[in-house]
Amino acid sequence: MAKIDDIIADFELIDDWEERYRYVIELGRELEPLPDSARNEANKVRGCASQVWLETQVTPDTSGDPMLTFRGDSDAHIVRGLVYILLSLYSGRSAQDVAALDAQDVFGQLGLTAHLTPQRSNGVRSMVERMRADARKALAAV
């Protein structure tokens, strides 16, 4: 999976929004599909027009603090790409970092905030809130 800094750098090289959308779709094609067992109600993200599933794995780091690893999938091509970007941003971070990090800054930097439909923007917010809620839950369990 590409690092978020690499995705930001790639976006800076692409001037045309049609090409940027194609790039987001290409990122989504790189996502490893979730197994059917992970496409369940517990992993389904509410508030998305498309079907979106996020699976969260919590493991302690060397100091015992919770680290979060996310996997995700969607039934819509562009949304799979947005899931990929969010996974690049949040997965593999401490629960503290995930709870504190606001993806809207990154989406604004990419220009996606201004170019997503209101419905897709709501879906992104729902995915981010789900990831941050999972981080807060992991922190509360420590």
Sign of the C-alpha dihedral computed for residues 6, 7, 11 and 12 taken in this order: negative
State the Cα–Cα distance between residues 34 and 9, nearest whole angstrom: 28
The answer to whether 125 is a known catalytic residue is no
Catalytic residue among 7, 24, 45, 48: 48
- Are 15 and 96 within 8 A, CB to CB? no
Under DSSP, is residue 131 helix (H, G, I), strand (E, B) or coil?
Answer: helix
Give the residue numbers marked as catalytic.
48
